[in-house]
């Protein structure tokens, strides 16, 4: 439902309202502003009014929290709800066909129920017919054309080649199929992967999981131009969350919706006057309209920071956020990028919110959740908006993690060697340290550094510079975002949480994406400078980015075996044993009542 224009903030959507202060120590944290216009002025001080003021500056729409002075941007609750539904759609239980006659008791009994039905041939189109054993009437079950695959024997081959970095042209040569057939098989594999994942991941909200230590980051992907007359690239952003302990990737979400009819949305937006409204009050607030893109090109600030020392890069992150019209949106459009011709690009801040609200439902039964977030104000705001109840209940904590990775291999090795020498010197400084493990010694050092946190940025966030590098994170700083200053955690507990801080879980998945998916590897550009250029292996259809990431997420979680001879799903407790690509593609595993018609 679209918000009436006389309301000061967007109305809630199915109970969801995110327009509140995002400062965890503020009394307004989790308490939304009123949608009704509030009386102001000296004579109205005694009236029961909220403690927010709506600021409608040019290019900005935000609420000022009068309790702490923060300015959270106003968001469309409807747009967030639409993203949550988009991400949750694969978990929806498909209704199993049953006897269509309401007078029959088998009307609520699925066709997979033993002895309830018998097969009764097929129709001319190939649909399976059944006869009900109670009423003796027959009916046909139409199968999705996706399931009626020709050349089924090459499905597993195509699946394996896709996740082992073979370019699409070479897959066609190896499997002896045409490019059209390959795309149909990718569509089939994608649907099967989602169905397979859903049968397992529907169990997560009921699982007894004491703690999760999750890393969150995003990865950009470039899509080549789709029209010869318009050689601009399309830039998509994929946000992922992975468990640092088991390596299980719970979700990877792209700010692109392939199911939107772009022309229809543009026409409808024009008819209802969406372009004349502030973004959060629009019916189509979630997606980029042409006017949004044109307006963004006029602003287009250069936010590219130089590679400097770690503290400078943290300060750059805060400075970049402040420059934006919306501190939570990192979308930057340039003359070298365009909107997709099919589907629609989603405003990245709404993808962030949908991502975390999706996990709030998925993690309903998790005892405690610790999020380790890449330093991005939009990720922080979305996380705290979704989990504010858990934050106040001390069942959720969030940390910024900033990693400087630009060093060469030799520089990383030098930093690692220096760290080992420093740890050895620390051990030798006291006889009481001699019997301690390296972990215990590092814990003592981190605990000591809690007394010397560094204040950085406009919001005076306090950072700990982690003194023990490794090859994947040679320089790292950590900031506790959900410190309620109630001393609920002692220093030992805090030192443990800081030591757990890493982006390694999601970074490893992103690294594997680049290494194992040909279409999503680091771009091989035909130009010498970044901008308008053709990328050697990048796809032309933006929908392929999300599909390939979904396919690889399932493969990574259920098929790929680690050094411990287990898959991430086995470590998490979602799978009891090994899963193969064939298992995923078998229709019986994905949809129990569907016959194998590959």
User: Confidence class of residue 493 from pLDDT cuts 50, 70 and 90?
Assistant: very high
Q: Is residue 286 scored above 50 in pLDDT?
A: yes
Closest by CA to 204, choosing from 361, 390, 382, 396, is 361
Strand order in the sheet with 128-132: 117-122, 128-132, 138-141
107 contacts: CB under 8 Å, gap ≥ 6: 98, 99, 100, 101
The predicted-structure confidence for 112-148, as pLDDT tens digits, reads as follows: 788 899 988 888 767 788 999 999 999 988 655 444 5
User: Which range, of 151-160, 229-238, 434-443, 475-484, averages the lowest pLDDT?
Assistant: 229-238
Query: Residue 548 has what pLDDT?
Result: 96
Cα-based distances in Å from 535 to 164, 474, 508, 513, 540: 20, 30, 23, 17, 10
Q: Is residue 291 scored above 80 in pLDDT?
A: yes
Greatest mean pLDDT among 4-18, 80-94, 375-389 lies in 375-389
SS3 576: coil
Q: Is residue 520 scored above 60 in pLDDT?
A: yes
- Give the DSSP H/E element, type plus range, for residue 345: strand 344-345
The predicted-structure confidence for 184-194, as pLDDT tens digits, reads as follows: 999 999 999 99
Query: Residue 478 has what pLDDT?
Result: 97
Q: Is residue 528 scored above 50 in pLDDT?
A: no
Query: Residue 246 has what pLDDT?
Result: 97
Query: Residue 42 has what pLDDT?
Result: 65
Half-sphere exposure of 173 (CA within 13 A, CB side): 5
Q: Is residue 307 scored above 70 in pLDDT?
A: no
Q: Is residue 38 scored above 90 in pLDDT?
A: no
Paired with 528 in beta bridges are none
In this structure, the number of other CB atoms found within 10 A of the CB of residue 309 comes to 9
Query: Residue 594 has what pLDDT?
Result: 47
Distant-in-sequence contacts of 302-309, Cβ < 8 A, 24+ apart = 303/332, 307/406, 309/404
Does residue 99 or residue 335 have the better pLDDT? 99
As a dihedral over the C-alpha atoms of residue 127, residue 130, residue 136, residue 138, rounded to 10 degrees, the angle is -10
Say which DSSP state 145 is in: G
121 phi and psi angles, rounded to 5 deg: 80, -165
Model-wide pTM > 0.95: no
Closest by CA to 479, choosing from 500, 505, 453, is 453
Show the tokens assigned to 538. Answer: 């990048």
Show the tokens assigned to 145. Answer: 């054309």
Q: Is residue 337 scored above 80 in pLDDT?
A: no
Query: Residue 503 has what pLDDT?
Result: 97
User: Confidence class of residue 590 from pLDDT cuts 50, 70 and 90?
Assistant: very low
């Amino acid at each position: 439902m679209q918000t009436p224009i006389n309301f000061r903030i967007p109305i809630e959507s199915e109970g969801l309202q995110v327009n509140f202060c995002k400062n965890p120590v503020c009394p307004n944290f989790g308490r939304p502003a009123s949608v009704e216009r509030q009386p102001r002025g000296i004579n109205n001080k005694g009236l029961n009014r909220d403690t927010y003021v709506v600021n409608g500056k040019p290019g900005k729409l935000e609420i000022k929290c009068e309790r702490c002075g923060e300015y959270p941007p106003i968001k469309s609750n409807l747009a967030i709800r639409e993203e949550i539904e988009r991400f949750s759609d694969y978990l929806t239980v498909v209704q199993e066909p049953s006897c269509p006659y309401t007078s029959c008791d088998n009307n609520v009994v699925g066709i997979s129920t033993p002895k309830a039905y018998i097969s009764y041939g097929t129709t001319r189109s190939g649909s399976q017919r059944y006869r009900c054993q109670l009423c003796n009437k027959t009916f046909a079950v139409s199968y999705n054309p996706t399931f009626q695959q020709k050349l089924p024997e090459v499905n597993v081959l195509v699946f394996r080649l896709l996740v082992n970095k073979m370019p699409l042209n070479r897959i066609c040569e190896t499997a002896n199929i045409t490019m059209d057939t390959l795309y149909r098989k990718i569509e089939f594999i994608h649907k099967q992967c989602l169905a397979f994942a859903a049968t397992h991941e529907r169990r997560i909200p009921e699982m007894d999981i004491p703690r999760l230590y999750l890393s969150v980051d995003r990865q950009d992907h470039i899509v080549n131009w789709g029209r010869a007359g318009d050689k601009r690239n399309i830039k998509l952003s994929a946000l992922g969350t992975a468990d640092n302990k088991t390596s299980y990737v719970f979700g990877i979400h792209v700010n692109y919706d392939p199911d939107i009819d772009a022309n229809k949305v543009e026409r409808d937006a024009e008819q209802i006057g969406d372009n004349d409204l502030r973004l959060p009050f629009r019916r189509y607030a979630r997606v980029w309209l042409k006017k949004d893109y044109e307006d963004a090109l006029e602003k287009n600030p250069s936010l590219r920071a130089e590679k400097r020392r770690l503290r400078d890069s943290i300060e750059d992150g805060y400075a970049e956020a402040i420059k934006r019209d919306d501190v939570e949106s990192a979308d930057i459009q340039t003359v070298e990028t365009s909107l997709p011709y099919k589907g629609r690009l989603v405003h990245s801040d709404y993808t962030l919110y949908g991502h975390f609200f999706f996990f709030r439902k998925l993690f309903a039964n998790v005892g405690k959740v610790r999020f380790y977030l890449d330093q991005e104000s939009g990720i922080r705001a979305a996380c705290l908006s979704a989990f504010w109840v858990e934050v106040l209940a001390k069942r959720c904590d969030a940390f910024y993690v900033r990693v400087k990775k630009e060093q060469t291999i030799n520089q990383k090795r030098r930093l690692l060697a220096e760290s080992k020498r420093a740890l050895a010197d620390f051990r030798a400084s006291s006889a009481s340290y001699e019997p301690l493990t390296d972990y215990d010694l590092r814990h003592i050092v981190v605990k000591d550094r809690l007394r010397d946190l560094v204040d950085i940025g406009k919001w005076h966030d306090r950072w700990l510079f982690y003194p023990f590098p490794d090859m994947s994170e040679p320089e790292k700083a950590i900031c506790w975002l959900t410190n309620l200053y109630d001393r609920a955690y002692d220093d030992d507990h805090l030192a443990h949480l800081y030591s757990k801080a890493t982006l390694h879980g999601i970074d490893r998945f992103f690294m594997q994406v680049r290494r194992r998916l040909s279409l999503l590897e680091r771009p091989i550009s035909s130009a010498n400078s970044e901008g308008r250029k053709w990328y050697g292996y990048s796809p032309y259809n933006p929908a392929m980015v999300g599909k390939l990431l979904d396919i690889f997420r399932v493969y990574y979680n259920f098929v790929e075996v680690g050094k411990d001879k287990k898959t991430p799903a086995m470590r998490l407790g979602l799978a009891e044993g090994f899963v193969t690509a064939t298992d995923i593609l078998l229709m019986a595993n994905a949809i129990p009542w569907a016959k194998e018609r590959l």
